[in-house]
Chain A
Amino acid sequence: MNFLNPIALLLGLLSGMIVLMYLLKLRRRKEEFSSTLLWRRSMEDLTANSPFQKLRQNLLMYLQILFLLLLVLALARPTMALRRTRGMSRVVLIDNSASMNSMDGERGRPRLEDAKSKAADLIGNMAQGEEMMVVSLGGAARVVQPFTAEKATLHGALSRIEATDAGSSIREAMLMSRGVLKTRPNCVITLVSDGGEGYLGNLLTASDPVEFIPVGSSDRNCGIVAFDLRESFERKGQVQVFAEVENFSTEPANVLVRCLVDGRSLQAREEKIEAKSRKGFVFTGFEGSSKQLLRLELETDDLLACDNVVQGFINLTGQTDVLLVSEGSFFLERILGLLPNVSASRIAPAEYQPSFNKGLVIFDGFAPQQIGPGRYLFINATPPLEGFSKTGEPLKNQILLDWNRLHPVTRFLNLGSLAFSETRKIQYPDWAIPLAESSGGALMLAGERRAVKLLVLNFDLYASDWPLQVSFPVFLSNAVRWLGAEAQGSLSGSHLTGETVALPAQKEVRITNPAGRGWTRQPDENHLAYFNETYHTGIYTVREGDDKEERFAVNLLSARESDITPRQELVSGEKKVSATSVRKENREVWTWAVLLGLLLLAGEWHVYCRRAWL
């Protein structure tokens, strides 16, 4: 035998109330009296004189009739229009990304608290038998609570969701929720967020059962969205710091950007940034040395704090070793030879061994069977990694549609006049992002996963006019700088929130985040320890043993997260989801009738015990 609603068995505890009534009854004081004759007569007189005498005489009967009516009512399964959910199960996606830290919630609290409050309302309105799953989106999609009908457990899960300074994994969470829909057709996905269109892309279809509960009320925010450093070409030892600050508000904003090295304020600039526009800041003319902490602070009156500070460590030493695996490439060899602080060498594809990996490896029209940890540029070759594959016949007469103008690799490039003869449709994993796209698919991909950082050019360089264009050496320079992150004249140890950091280590390392919380990680066979709890901005400390201590910085640097403009609808592909409030629908309330009946039964017992209601 099974129970559809085993929680109802807890009502059996009400028998304790009956026992209590018995005990209370026994607590009547015993009094011996000469005769109860006159007392009985007095009770009768009092009852007879009462204006509600008849009612009182039959009170027990009325209570019993009422109890019966309530039971009948319960059997009729009454429904009421109450606030409730549409389906029998619900996946609630709680956005705890960086933008949800904006302090424009109710009573000046963060948006995340508003989101939790709205999710708590959803839990409160759950119907009997309805189940809910809670997923958080900050940094990575995490199932905070698998499907359950227990409200207390769900409330507990809500309280466990912490704020992060990371981007939103709404796309990943939506894909995961779609998997749930296959096994639960009567399920609804509810996103409680301040937006997320940028992450979703065209993911949603018209048939997706998605609800959107918006939070947030203001767009008042300015944030540092780009940050870089390089050594001055003119003066050795001098550094140049670049930053971009964007005003996402519809009102102009005055900002003060201060540059600090090791806590010492060196320069500051005050600017007015127009609404919805971006302004660059360059700080030059000061000496810097490796491992100094460079920090930019943005002072302005806005709602989100985590994008007002960026940090990184100055790196002015060493040079980048570049290994070109090619049958021979005039353009590549010449340009690599011209790049400062780059030591390039070439080998034939047949000579390549994975053990050669020291710095950056460029595969020109050749891909090895496998690659280990390292930095790679694949030119007209498919990386031997899971998720990458080329399909179909070569596509001819394709044109370049657009390219990413913000990525460090494609920044400052003008690819508008690029002409290429053919390309092939390439499949790539989620962690790779297209930097340039043609009508036939991605032309340029960039990605970083664990200890592999790579760039892919999906066309034959020599069947295009790119090497003859000005943008090509700029691209190669950017590519070497981006791939060789530890090369000179750059920021080292600077990561984005939510990014997995590969830490060189010989033995167990202990990582402490800016809030003082610690984790330990073991290095793998490549002597790399991977750490992915980078959900908060700030300086992380890595301690290996007792004597070796390193630090790395984590920054937000995300225009998507800094743009806190609240959305009232969610648009993704053909799907347009309007803001949803928790809806009212018919809901069975027979349990209330039964509960009321049980209470009535207790009352009837009380009346019976008192006998005379005087």
Chain B
Amino acid sequence: MTETTTKSLLSPEFLKRLDRLELETRRILGGVIKGDRRSKKKGVSIDFADYRHYVRGDDLRFIDWNIYGRLDRLFIKIFHEEQDLQCHLLLDTSKSMRFGQPGKLEYARQIAAGIAYVGLTGSDKIGISCFREEASGALPAARGRHNVRRMLAFLEGLEADGRTSLHAAAREFTQRVKGRSVVVVVSDFLDPAGFEPALRYLIRETLDVFVIHVLAPQEIRPEITGHVEMHDMETDHKLELTITPRLRDTYMRNVEAFCRKIKDYCVRYGMSYTFAPTDLPIEELLLKRLREDGLIKG
């Protein structure tokens, strides 16, 4: 079952390549258990960090007796604490994600599967939340390779439906998730209310946010011309248009501006932005782009 589901999302060869990778964060994040990852928090590990004076209550096991012998003072050895990583994937499953060839939801599922696979195989804690008007259909955070099957099955079962409401979904997510974690938002951000209120909820010291902006080539470079009655997939609004080359050019410039605006916002607030058109091979996205953007290493 695992093999079948995994195959449908990511090829076995690709999964093998993902095996060598692990998730990375640019911030000091604290997991509940000690993991494989060196945190900036000083703690117990084999990586020496610094010395400090002994104060009452410190663990006597970390006193450097060699220093005491030479200087007759008590110093405590400080080590980098290695911790596990909590990663939450926020996946847009609104109706607009059905659009495109290949479909945006399909692509977003592949992204989520790839990141989750990397995380689970690296003993990180991975949780997946789908959002439409609110975060729904969440897969509780879990750790360990044995959860890969469950995670992939969950992703396979996702359907695009309803309207995008990033704002409501982000608010609901921040209320639910406590502690430090990496948040990966995969969405087309085509929310009539705008993306800023939602991302603003995610601007927290405890969260390292990666924004993956998924758009279909048909949205970036549409080939529609003439008199059309355009139906909005999410809102069902109708827009009567006469698409001339001039209007199409303006639209394409607006798409570029829209993407640039999200990127600028992310940069300003310390988030990572990755543009992911669905005609970009998933391998290139996961192995190259997300590596460059610091979400994946290895």
Contact = CB atoms under 8 A, between A and B. Distances in A.
Given A39-B251, A46-B250, A29 B228 contact: yes
Q: How large is the interface on A (under 10, 10 to 19, 20 to 34, 35 or more residues)?
A: 20 to 34
Interface string B211-234: 000001001001010111111111
Nearest to A25: B240
B233 A30 contact: no
Interface string A42-83: 110110000000000000000000000000000000000000
Interface string A25-41: 00111111111111111
Contact of A39 (B216, B241, B246): B241
B233 A34 contact: yes
B188 interface: yes
Contact of B231 (A30, A37, A46, A611): A30
B254 A45 contact: yes
A33 B231 contact: yes
A28 B228 contact: yes
Given A28-B228, A46-B247, A614-B246, A33 B258 contact: no
Interface in A575-613: 609-612
A35 B251 contact: no
Given A36-B237, A40-B239, A43-B241, A29 B231 contact: no
B47 to A, nearest CB: 48
Contact of B228 (A31, A34, A35, A46): A31
Contacts of A610: 227, 240, 242
Given A29-B227, A45-B250, A35 B242 contact: no
A34 B230 contact: no
A39 B219 contact: no
B201 to A, nearest CB: 21
B224 A31 contact: yes
A36 B239 contact: yes
Contacts of B139: none
B133 to A, nearest CB: 15
Contacts of A31: 224, 228-231
A15 B98 CA distance: 43
Interface in A73-128: none
B190 A42 contact: no
B240 A611 contact: yes
A35 B255 contact: no
Nearest to A33: B230
Contacts of B99: 32-34
B27 to A, nearest CB: 33
A157 to B, nearest CB: 48
B227 A35 contact: no
B230 A614 contact: no
B4 interface: no
B137 interface: no
B229 A29 contact: yes
A35 B247 contact: no
A33 B233 contact: yes
Contacts of A41: 254
Contacts of A609: 240
Contacts of B229: 28-31
Nearest to B249: A42
Most buried by B among A27, A29, A35, A41: A35
B269 to A, nearest CB: 22
Contacts of A46: 246-247, 250
Contact of B254 (A28, A36, A42): A42
A47 to B, nearest CB: 10
B234 A43 contact: no
A43 B255 CA distance: 13
B234 to A, nearest CB: 6
Contacts of B239: 36, 39-40
A614 B96 contact: no
Given A610-B242, A611-B240, A612-B242, A36 B230 contact: yes
B242 A34 contact: no
B219 to A, nearest CB: 6
Contacts of A29: 226-229
Interface string B244-273: 101100110111001000000000000000
B228 A614 contact: no
A35 B234 contact: yes
A28 B241 CA distance: 9
Interface in A278-337: none
B244 A33 contact: no
A34 B250 contact: no
A611 B238 CA distance: 13
Nearest to B250: A42
Contact of A28 (B96, B227, B250, B251): B227
Nearest to A31: B228
A42 B251 contact: yes
Contacts of B140: none
A546 B238 CA distance: 85
Contacts of B233: 32-35
Contacts of A35: 96, 188, 190, 192, 232-235
A40 to B, nearest CB: 6
Nearest to B251: A42
Nearest to B224: A31
Contacts of A36: 230-232, 235, 237, 239
A614 B247 contact: yes
A29 B224 CA distance: 10
Nearest to B255: A38
B244 A614 contact: yes
B100 interface: yes
Nearest to B252: A42
Contacts of A39: 230, 239, 241, 251
Contacts of A33: 99, 219, 222, 230-233
Contact of B190 (A27, A34, A614): A34
A609 B233 CA distance: 23
A93 to B, nearest CB: 58
A43 B228 contact: no
A30 B250 CA distance: 21
Interface in B189-203: 190, 192
B230 to A, nearest CB: 5
B85 to A, nearest CB: 33
Contacts of B253: 42
A27 B228 CA distance: 9
Contact of B219 (A34, A40, A43, A45): A34
B227 A38 contact: no
Contacts of B258: 38
Given A42-B250, A43-B241, A34 B231 contact: no
Contacts of A40: 239
A37 B216 CA distance: 15
Interface string B33-62: 000000000000000000000000000000
Contacts of A27: 227
A30 B237 CA distance: 12
A302 to B, nearest CB: 68
Contacts of A43: 241, 247
B111 to A, nearest CB: 17
Contacts of A30: 228-229, 231
B249 to A, nearest CB: 9
A45 B233 CA distance: 23
Nearest to A32: B231
Interface string B83-121: 000000000000011111000100000000000000000
A34 B226 CA distance: 18
A611 to B, nearest CB: 5
Interface in B145-159: none
5 contacts: A33-B99, A33-B222, A34-B232, A38-B258, A39-B239
Interface pairs A-B: 8 shortest CB-CB? A34-B99, A35-B190, A34-B96, A42-B251, A42-B250, A36-B232, A28-B229, A36-B239
Given A40-B239, A45-B250, 14 more contacts: A28-B227, A28-B228, A32-B231, A34-B96, A34-B99, A34-B104, A34-B233, A34-B234, A35-B233, A42-B250, A43-B241, A46-B250, A611-B240, A614-B246
